[in-house]
Structures are given as structure tokens and as C-alpha cells.
Chain A
Amino acid sequence: MAMSGDIIANDILFEWLLRRGDTPLILGHRVSEWCGHSPVLEEDIALANVALDLIGQSRLWLTYAGEVEGKGRGENELAFLRDAWDFRNFLLAEQTNGDFGKTLMRQFLIDAYQVPFLAALESSGNERISEIAAKAGKEAVYHLDRSADLVIRLGDGTPESHKRMQTALDMLWAYTGEMFAGDAVDEAMFDASLAPKPENLRPQWQKTVDMVLDQATLKIPQSDFAHQGGLSGRHSEHLGHLLADMQFLQRAYPGATW
């Protein structure tokens, strides 16, 4: 297997790939919790589609991560047999679904990040990364189209829907800063021309968010406080509960397959 070991250390690439794979995995699982519970049938199916897209993206990243790590772990081992402190997803992704509005707001804030991030990754110096990004990018564009549309409709909807969307935004805002924090891993990836610096994506994200939230008649919280820790494995209390549910089968019946 040709590794990009000469460009970047495998452990750094592995760490970075876990971050790419874990956010869609955890978000995908969260969204899948709606299956059978959505307000209307059409939304139920649409949300399940989004969840499947996200889990599909995660599989590509985690499979590659396993190859880079070279310890025989594949997508399944990485998804189902790691503990909370080994997960590298954004804290935003693991936040609970709450009501339909909070789920959509969380989705929108992440979609608005994924679109420019994946677009930038398409010109990565690593072919595998650019291939995955190209595939995931198409899905992300649709996800953003959909979540932005619904955020606008509900924000600029009835007094009740407006109130719920504003509450969701206020609740989730402090988790958005983490997406742009970046650290030594991101720095190394950037220096090797493999990935963009997260902070450089902020203007594009901000533009989308400002435009959509303005149309949605929602007020962006003024606080700059940003929760952090997802990228180093310090998660909120929600992740453990999510994993207990998601990993139950493989923990209780190791190696079980369809």
C-alpha cells in the first residue's frame, strides 16, 4: 500500500482522518435516531437519507484511517470498538437531537462547514483524500441546500417555530468555534499541502451562516466563547450515551455480522 509517509507522518495523517470520519459518524448516528419519529413521513425519509450519506462518508474516511494506521483495524473496529476518549468528532456533532429545530440547526451549522471544507480538500495533494472529498462534497451540497432551506422556513415561520430555532441557535452557537480552532495536526496537513487550515474556512462559513440566519430572521449570539475538546477526545457527557447505543451490538456480540 502506497502511503504518503514521505510527505507526512502516518500518525498525524491517521489522527486527521479520524477527525474526518468521526464527525459524520457521530452526526449520522444522531440523525438516524429520528428514524420513525420525524414529524412527517417525508421528513423521516429525508433525514434517514442524510444519516446514510453521513455514515457512508465516515466509512470511506475510517477505512482509509485504518489502512494508514496499519494495525489491522478497519472501519468497523474504529467505529464500534473505540471508547469515547478516542473519538475525534466535533462536540457539535454529538449534541443531542432536542426538537426537530435543534436537529436542523445543528445540521445546518455543520453542513455550512462541510461544503467549503470538502471543496478545498478536492485539491488535496493526497489522491485518496481528494477522491473521498469529491464524493462526499456532492452529498454535502444537497444537505446544506436542504438544511438551510428548512432553517429559513422555520426561523421565519410561526412565532413558535421562530422561538425554537432561536433557542437552538443560542444553545449550539458555542460549539461552532471548535470547527475553526485547528492545532498542530491541521498545521502539518496544511504544510504538506494535504488539507486547508480550518481557520481559513471561517469567512466562507460565516458568509453562509450570516446570509441564512438573516433570512431566517434569527439573531446570531454575540458571544465568542467556544467549547473545545472534541479533537483531543475530551467530549461532552452525551457521547458516552450515544456510543452505548451505537456500539451495543458489537460489544455484546463481538464480531457479529449480518
Chain B
Amino acid sequence: MKKEWPLWEVFIRGQHGLNHRHVGSLHAPDAELALKNARDVYTRRREGVSIWVVPSTQITASDPGSKDSLFEPSKDKIYRHPSFYDIPEDVGKM
């Protein structure tokens, strides 16, 4: 095939999951078929109750080379974690 179908990133919300999670990618000519293909490729074992597909080209990713400057600085700022507070049980998942 000369022209490959565009790539799509697939996100699935599991049976009990709260968020859609990235599970992988696939090729499809358009969004509708990407959804169908995602259903067939990624939910064969009852993994999901909801699917999102996003054109891979629409995802802007941070540069792995800038990892140090982006993420290192927060490493020694543990006071940003709410680990010094007791969270009441009623609050549930945060």
C-alpha cells in the first residue's frame, strides 16, 4: 500500500475505571472506522465500556530530551504533596 491509513491513539475506560486510559494505537481511514477497529482490537476481553480515539497527529507531546528541566525541579518539593494532611474518608477519591 502506497498510502498508509492515519494513526489513531486509543483510550479505553474499563469496567470500573474512572478515566479513559491510553491502551495503544491503530490505523484507520477515519474516526468512525477507528472506533470500530478499536472495539475489535482492544476490547476483545471485556476491557472496556467506553472508547475514545484521537488522531495521533493531534497529540502534542513533551520532548523527552527536556525531561530534566521539566520534571526534575519538582522532585525536592515534597511539601506540594498533600501527604501532611488527613483526608476525611467522606471525600472519597481525589
Q: With the chains together, A174 CA to B40 CA distance in Å?
A: 31
Selected contact of B27 from candidates A42, A46, A146, A153, CB within 8 Å: A42
Chain B min CB distance to A157 (Å): 10
Q: A40-B27, A149-B32 given as contacts; is B5 within 8 A of A45 (CB)?
A: no
Interface size in chain A (residues, C-beta < 8 A): 12
Closest to B32 in A: A149
Interface size in chain B (residues, C-beta < 8 A): 13
Asked if A10 is at the interface (CB within 8 A of a chain B CB), the reply is: no
Q: Do the beta carbons of A46 and B37 come within 8 Å of each other?
A: yes
Q: With the chains together, A100 CA to B89 CA distance in Å?
A: 57
Asked if B26 is at the interface (CB within 8 A of a chain A CB), the reply is: yes
Q: With the chains together, A147 CA to B26 CA distance in Å?
A: 19
Q: Chain A residues near B37 (CB, 8 Å)?
A: 42-43, 46
Chain A min CB distance to B15 (Å): 17
Asked if A126 is at the interface (CB within 8 A of a chain B CB), the reply is: no
Q: Do the beta carbons of B36 and A46 come within 8 Å of each other?
A: yes
Q: Chain B residues near A40 (CB, 8 Å)?
A: 5, 27
Chain A min CB distance to B60 (Å): 25
Chain A min CB distance to B22 (Å): 17
Q: Which of A21-73 contact B (CB under 8 A)?
A: 40-43, 45-46, 49
The 6 listed contacts between A and B (C-beta, < 8 Å) are A41-B27, A46-B41, A49-B40, A49-B44, A146-B36, A153-B33
